[in-house]
Structure 1
Amino acid sequence: MFRNLGGDDMTTSDTKPTHSHGITELCDAGARLYASALRLGRIARAEVEPAPCLMEFALLHPDPDDPAWLRPVPPSTALAQHLHPIEREILERRRHSVELTESFEPFMDISTLGPPSTHAITVLEGVNRINAALDLATAECRTEVLTVQPGGGRTEHRLSKSLERGLSVIHRGVGMRTLYQHTARHSPSTLAYAERMTDDNVEIRTLEELIGRLIVFDRTVAFIPASDDDQVALELRHPGLVQYLANVFEQLWTRAAPLREEVKYEPTSLGISGVQRSIAQLLVEGHVDDSIARRLGMNVRTCRAHVAKLAAALGSNSRAQLGYLIARSGILEEEQS
């Protein structure tokens, strides 16, 4: 009876076949043999050698009367044995979830007191998200829109989008003030946009040099670019930041000239125009042609043409000499006076 507990007749564990599957994926041989054992009430031990999983999953147990036979464990009993640890784990997780809920419940009441918090700075990535935020702010605007649009003439696509937003604002009686650079006066598309936006609540002025792009709605939310390629913008809702930007706009506005009025440049004693004087100032500050053109809203070729005229007026033969002659000529002091 105990012969299989030792000696040469017992198969070593190294040669026993194994099945790498779970009980929910019982192999065909195991399913067939277990069903046969249930029908007959027992099954020969040798017969189940192809399906060692039956013993591993405790679906069969040794016959106490004959070690050569195995008896099947009733399915209900086997199911209960395998479900018990799962149910215990579920109960433990439910208990843990209840404890978590009870721990955070006191703080839920605190977080609901007062108005909901608003992000002071929100980073907007991608043109679609930026436009969606602008469209929402436009729809919610009730009093005034302030915009700074640096650069020269704008593309028709950008002007079309601006026109759509602008008309939706002024039709509700909302005021709108826009700052362009002087170079935009020579852009047919910008002038056409200005004609479409003619309204008592709309004012457009130009200035020779501006800060970066800025849009302020109702002095409660502002948008500024956060990258040179216009793919990232910042939505600002901190009252201090928005008010500061609105004050910057007002300072620029008082120095700007209405779009429909002619800008009069008073040349210096050397016959240098206002644009060339601005370029001279930026040259003295160390800016290169690309930077000057971008700040004054003109293309690089036009900027270089003005630099050439400035050099000719001052008698300069090199860029280094030009900076020295600008400082010596006194044209920048004439602008200040």
Structure 2
Amino acid sequence: MTTNQTNATHPHGVAQLCEDGGRLYANALRTGRIAREDVEPAPCLVELALLHPDPDDANWLRPVPPSVALAQRLNPIEREITERRRLSVQLSDAFEPFMALSVQGATLTHSITVLEGGDRINAALNMATAQCQHEMLTIQPSDRGSERSLLQGLERDRPLIERGVKIRTLYQHTARHSPDKLAYVAQLSDGKVEYRTIDELVERLIVCDESVAFIPTRDDQQVALELRHPGLVRYLIKVFEFIWGRAVPLTAGAPYETAPGGITNIQHSIAKLLVEGHVDEAIARRLGMNVRTCRAHVAKLATALGSGSRAQLGYLIAQSGILDQEH
């Protein structure tokens, strides 16, 4: 049997000696030798140099004493440990002059942490919410994967409410027509929880106890920033309060009343974004609706204003004065 065949049959080192190998090696130590043919079930004993040929009889093998076998294997490991210790001392000496210099920038570095991957983001959110004692602020734009995110949110929010933590959450107006969102809100309505909606939200935000905030950095929600810089967190709280003051309580009823001229509030929001030059996909994302619904509203706007093209629609919106009306 060749070395490659042996390794394929017994792919282990001496520290994980197979059952046959251990039994045969023990027998060889007890008797002082072992027949070569008896070792066929465990050729690894020869490959690992635990047996060597008997100089007096080629049909027999003699065991290497365990103390010798152990020393043969420990020596290179101890040499490697010694070398790595020497290297660690050299590295410590090399970086010692820079340690004092790095302290000045350490505070800012540790106050902004990049979280990559959904598992790491959720782990950080779970830790922050578990430590939250007073209030959590959240901005939750609608997304297509809402069922899973709502389940994760429920698992995080319920213990908060049970501890008496106050929660304020902002959704888009479209959440009022989402059965999943309404069911989620109903399950958490017993505690100190407030929900409001507004026509347009740009990005997700979570703030815990005015001490840590989370914001996404990519549309796929797979990279986020964990912010612990007091100035940044205070700024984000002011942004939240600005939007919160202009939002409508979820209990106040649907804000989609038809304005003069047959233009609804949601169509007014779409008209504003159209004039700003946004495409349908961007408008749908900012208003929390799917693209098909957005295009249906655009078509209704075009019909109401008598527009025959997208370019003409933008002009007619600007000329109609509907963006000057309060909504």
Give the TM-score band, short-chain normalised. 0.5 to 0.7
Partner of 2:146: 155
Distance 1:140 1:330 in 2: 50
* Aligned ranges 1:1-20 → 2 under 5 Å: none
**297-306 or 260-269, larger mean C-alpha shift:** 260-269
Deviation of the 1:99 alpha carbon: 11
| Distance in 2 (alpha carbons) for counterparts of 1:166 and 1:238 | 24
Letter of the 2:275 partner, please give it.
Answer: V
2: CA distance, partners of 1:282 / 1:215: 26
C-alpha distance after superposition, 1:275-298 (max 9, x if no partner): 111110000000011111111000
The residue that corresponds to 1:164 in the other structure is 155
Q: CA deviation at 1:153?
A: 7.2
Whether 1:245 and 2:228 are equivalent positions in the alignment is: no
> Match for residue 224 of structure 1?
215
- Tell me the equivalent position of 2:16: none
Aligned amino acid, residue 126 of structure 2: D
Alignment of 1:7-46 (within 5 A): none
Counterpart of 2:279 in structure 1: which amino acid? V
Residue 283 of structure 2 corresponds to residue 283 of structure 1? no
Check the 8 A contact 1:152/1:181 in 2, yes or no.
no
Secondary structure at the aligned position of 1:260 is classed as helix
- Aligned partners of 2:109 and 2:285: how far apart in 1? 35
Residues 94 and 308 of structure 1: CA distance in aligned 2, closer, same or farther (over 3 Å): closer
Q: Is the Cα contact below 8 Å between 1:118 and 1:237 reproduced in 2?
A: no
The Cα shift of 1:320 comes to: 0.6
Asked whether the equivalents of residues 154 and 189 of structure 1 are also in contact (C-alpha less than 8 Å), the reply is: no
Q: How much does 1:200 deviate?
A: 3.8
Report SS of the residue matched to 1:178: strand
2:322 corresponds to which residue?
A: 331
After superposition, the Cα gap between the structure-2 partners of 1:106 and 1:170, relative to the gap in structure 1 and judged at 3 Å, is: same
**What SS does the corresponding residue of 1:204 show, helix, strand or coil?**
strand
Structure 1 vs Structure 2 CA RMSD: 3.1
For 1:304, the equivalent position in structure 2 comes to: 295
Are 2:122 and 1:131 aligned? yes
Counterpart in 1 of 2:200?
209
Alignment of 1:1-150 (within 5 A): 97=89, 104=96, 119-150=110-141
Deviation at 1:107, TM superposition (A): 6.2
| Cα distance in 2 between the residues matched to 1:147 and 1:323 | 34
- Amino acid paired to 2:200: E
1:319 and 1:312 mapped to 2: Cα distance?
Answer: 12
- Residue ranges of structure 1 left out of the alignment (5+ in a row): 1-86
Q: What are the Cα deviations for residues 217-259 of structure 1, in whole angstroms up to 9, with x where unaligned?
A: 0111000111111111111111111111111111111111111
Paired residue secondary structure (1:227): coil
CA positional deviation for 1:147: 0.3
What residue in structure 2 maps to residue 177 of structure 1?
Answer: 168
Aligned with residue 262 of structure 1, among 253, 274, 284: 253
**CA–CA separation in structure 2 for the residues paired with 1:107 and 1:326:** 61
- On the 8 A contact 1:206/1:256 being kept in 2, the answer is yes
Secondary structure at 2:258's aligned position in 1? coil
For 2:155 and 2:88, the matched residues in 1 are separated by 54
Is the Cα contact below 8 Å between 1:210 and 1:295 reproduced in 2?
yes
Structure 1 partner of 2:307: 316
Determine the structure 2 residue equivalent to 1:197. 188
Contact preservation (8 Å) 2:174, 2:289: yes
Matched to 1:270, the amino acid is: G
1:212 and 1:102 map into 2 onto residues whose CA distance is: 44
Report if aligned partners of 1:146, 1:177 keep a CA contact under 8 Å in 2: yes
Alpha-carbon spacing, 1:328–1:243, altered in 2? closer, same or farther (3 Å): same
With over 3 angstroms needed to count, the CA separation of the structure-2 counterparts of 1:97 and 1:306, relative to structure 1, is closer
Residue 165 of structure 1 and its aligned partner are, at CA, apart by: 0.3
CA distance in 2, matches of 1:96, 1:195: 58
SS of 1:254 mapped into structure 2: helix
Task: Return the index of the structure with the highest Cα Rg.
Answer: 1
Task: Give the drift of 1:96.
Answer: 10
- Give distance in 2, aligned partners of 1:96 and 1:289: 58
Greater shift after overlay, 283-292 or 191-200? 191-200
Structure 1 match to 2:29: none
Code of the residue aligned with 2:270 in structure 1: it is I
Does the CA-based 8 Å contact 1:152-1:187 persist in structure 2?
Answer: no
